[in-house]
Structure 1
Amino acid sequence: MNGNAERWSDLGTRLGSGAAMVAIGIAGIWFGGHVFHGLVAVICGLMVWELVRMLSPDQPSLALQLGGVSAFAVLLATYLPPLYAVPLLAAAVLVGLGRVKRYAPVYLVFSGLLLLAGWGMAHVRDDLGFGWMVWLVLVVVVTDVAGYFAGRMIGGPKFWPAVSPKKTWAGTSAGWVAAALVGLGFGIGSGALGALVLASVLLSFASQLGDIAESAIKRKVGVKDSSTLIPGHGGLLDRFDGMLGAALALLVLEVAFGFPWSVL
C-alpha cells in the first residue's frame, strides 16, 4: 500500500505544473509570430543555462552568459532564412566551446541540437502552420503521458536501465500506440493516413530518444534533475527533452522526405 502511494505521490504536483505549462504553450502556439518566437527563445536560453550548470556547476556566471547568448541567437534566427539562421546558431554554440571546462564535447553536441530544435519549432509554426504545430505537440505530449501511466501501472522490463532506469518497455510501447492514434486522428480522410501514422510513431520514438539522451547526461554528471524550475517535473530540459528530439526528427522528415504531405 505504501509503495503504491509513493508511486503516485508526485502526481498532483506534476498535474498542476503541467496544466500551467499547457496553458502557456497553447497561448504561444495560438498567437504564433513574435509571441511564439520569444517563448521558444526564452525556453532555449533557460535550457542552455541548465545544461551548462549541470556540466560545469562551478561556472554559474558562464551558464547565465551562454543562456543569454543562446536565447538571443534563437530569437534572431527565427527571422532569418536557413542559410543565415544555421550558421548563427552554430556561432552561439561555439562561443562557449572553449569556456566550458568539463564535458565540452557533450556541451557542443547537445547545445547545438537544442538550438537547432528550437529554431525548428519556430519554423514549424511559421511555415507549416498551426495544425502541424498542434500535431507535433500532441505526439510528444501523448507519448509522455501514456508512457508515464503505462510504465507506473504495468511496470515490467526496463527499456534501457543503464541510462534511464524508470523507462519500461510497457511505457515506451504505450507512447508509440498513443502517438499512432494522434496520427490516425489527424490523417483520417486524407491520402496520407498511413504515412502520417508512421511519422507520428517515428516522432514519438525520437521524443523518447531525446528523453534518454538527457537522462544519460544527468547520470554522467550525477544529478537527478536539470534544475528545480518546474515543481514536480524538475527543469525545462527534463520537460522539453522529448520535444527537442521530435522537432529534430521533423526537420529530417521535411528535408529528406518532403514533409508535410497534403493532410492539414
Structure 2
Amino acid sequence: MSLARDSFADLATRMATSLALAVVGLTAVWAGGWWFTGLVVVIVATLVWELVGMLGGGPRRALVLGGMAGAAILASKLLPPGIALPILLAVAIAGIGVLERNRTLFLVMTSVILLAGFGLILHRDGFGLTWMLWLVLLVAATDTLGYFAGRVLGGPKFWPAVSPKKTWSGTVAGWIGAGLIGWGFMSLTGSGVELIGISVALSMASQMGDIAESAVKRRMGVKDSSNLLPGHGGVYDRFDGLLGAAFLLVIVESVTAFPPSPV
C-alpha cells in the first residue's frame, strides 16, 4: 500500500479550520436558544450567498438572496411553524424572479438549505443538547472516517464523474462510523436499536448532500463554493453534509417516534 506524498498536504490547515469551527459550533450547540439560532441564521445566509455566486448570479443578487434567507430563518424562530414554512419557501421562489439562469438549481438547493436550517433549530429546541450532539457527531464521523479511510485504503471510486476523490472504502467507513455513534447514544440514552439504522441513514443523507454540492460545482466549473474557510473552501463545502442529514431528520421526526423507544 502506498500513499501519494501530498495525500495529507492540506491536513494541518484543514484541521486548524475544523478546530475553529468546532469551538464556535459546539459552543452555540451547548448554549442553545438564540445563540444557536444566530449561528444557523449566519450559516444559512452564507450558504445561499455562496450558492448564488456559484450559479453566476452576481454579487448583488447573492447579497440580496442571502440576506432574505437569513431573515427567513430568523422569522422561523419567532413565528409558529405553519406561518414560517411559506416564508422560508418564498425565498427559494424569489430566486426565479431574481436570477437570469440556473433557476431550477437555485430553487431546489435553496429549499433544502432553508428547510434543513429550520429543522436544525426545531431539533435543538425540541430535543435538547444530547440529540443535537448526536447529529453533529454522526455527521463528523461520516466526514472524518470517510476522509481518512479514502486516503489510507483507497480503492474503487464512488462516483468519479461528480466527486473524483471519493471512494467506496471512505463511503462505507462513514456508514460504520455513524452506526457506532448511534450505538453509543443508544446505550447512553436507553433508546431503541432503530437509532442505529437512523444514524446510518442520516450518514447516507450527509454523503448525498456532499455529492449534490459537488455536482453543482462540477456543472458550474468551480472548485470551491468560496474561499472563506482555509483548507475547506467555502461554508457550503463544510456544511453540505450537515444539510443533507438535517433535511432527512426533518422527515424522520415527522414520520417516526423520535427518539426511538426500546422494543
Check if 1:159 corresponds to 2:180.
Answer: no
How much has 1:190 moved relative to structure 2?
6.0
Query: Following superposition of structure 1 onto structure 2, how do residues 54-133 of structure 1 map, counting pairs within 5 Å?
Result: 54-57=54-57, 59-133=58-132
Query: Could you tell me whether the CA contact under 8 Å between 1:183 and 1:193 is conserved in 2?
Result: no
Alignment-derived partner of residue 31 in structure 2: 31
Q: Secondary structure at the match of 1:165?
A: strand
Query: RMSD between aligned alpha carbons?
Result: 1.6
Structure 2 length-normalised TM = 0.96
How much has 1:91 moved relative to structure 2?
1.2
Provide the rounded CA distance (Å) in 1 between the counterparts of 2:128 and 2:139. Answer: 17
Query: Could you tell me whether the CA contact under 8 Å between 2:195 and 2:259 is conserved in 1?
Result: no
Query: Following superposition of structure 1 onto structure 2, how do residues 5-44 of structure 1 map, counting pairs within 5 Å?
Result: 5-44=5-44
Query: For residues 122-143 of structure 1, what are the alpha-carbon distances to aligned partners after superposition, in whole Å with 9 as ceiling and x for unaligned?
Result: 1110011111100000010000
Q: Secondary structure at the match of 2:206?
A: helix
Q: Which amino acid aligns with 2:198?
A: A
Q: Secondary structure at the match of 2:233?
A: coil
Alignment-derived partner of residue 237 in structure 2: 238
Provide the rounded CA distance (Å) in 2 between the counterparts of 1:149 and 1:94. Answer: 39
Alignment-derived partner of residue 219 in structure 1: 218
Q: Which amino acid aligns with 1:12?
A: A
Query: Could you tell me whether the CA contact under 8 Å between 1:190 and 1:262 is conserved in 2?
Result: no
- Of stretches 182-191 and 35-44 in structure 1, the one that deviates more from structure 2 is 182-191
Provide the rounded CA distance (Å) in 1 between the counterparts of 2:230 and 2:159. Answer: 26
Alignment-derived partner of residue 52 in structure 1: 52
Query: Could you tell me whether the CA contact under 8 Å between 1:137 and 1:243 is conserved in 2?
Result: yes
Provide the rounded CA distance (Å) in 1 between the counterparts of 2:44 and 2:188. Answer: 36
Provide the rounded CA distance (Å) in 1 between the counterparts of 2:191 and 2:33. Answer: 28
Percent identity over the alignment?
51
- Of stretches 186-195 and 244-253 in structure 1, the one that deviates more from structure 2 is 186-195
Query: For residues 43-84 of structure 1, what are the alpha-carbon distances to aligned partners after superposition, in whole Å with 9 as ceiling and x for unaligned?
Result: 000000000000015x21110111111111111112222211
Query: Could you tell me whether the CA contact under 8 Å between 1:226 and 1:235 is conserved in 2?
Result: yes
Query: For residues 3-32 of structure 1, what are the alpha-carbon distances to aligned partners after superposition, in whole Å with 9 as ceiling and x for unaligned?
Result: 622111000000000000000001100111
Provide the rounded CA distance (Å) in 2 between the counterparts of 1:97 and 1:20. Answer: 36
Provide the rounded CA distance (Å) in 1 between the counterparts of 2:79 and 2:158. Answer: 40
Q: Secondary structure at the match of 2:99?
A: coil
Q: Secondary structure at the match of 1:148?
A: helix
Structure 2 residue runs without a partner (length 5+): none
How much has 1:191 moved relative to structure 2?
5.8
Provide the rounded CA distance (Å) in 2 between the counterparts of 1:193 and 1:18. Answer: 32
Q: Which amino acid aligns with 1:225?
A: D
Q: Secondary structure at the match of 2:164?
A: strand
Alpha-carbon spacing, 1:51–1:257, altered in 2? closer, same or farther (3 Å): same
Alignment-derived partner of residue 252 in structure 2: 253
Provide the rounded CA distance (Å) in 2 between the counterparts of 1:3 and 1:197. Answer: 33
Aligned length: 262
How much has 1:260 moved relative to structure 2?
2.4
Provide the rounded CA distance (Å) in 2 between the counterparts of 1:262 and 1:159. Answer: 35
Structure 1 length-normalised TM = 0.95
Q: Secondary structure at the match of 2:158?
A: strand
Query: Following superposition of structure 1 onto structure 2, how do residues 134-213 of structure 1 map, counting pairs within 5 Å?
Result: 134-188=133-187, 192-213=191-212
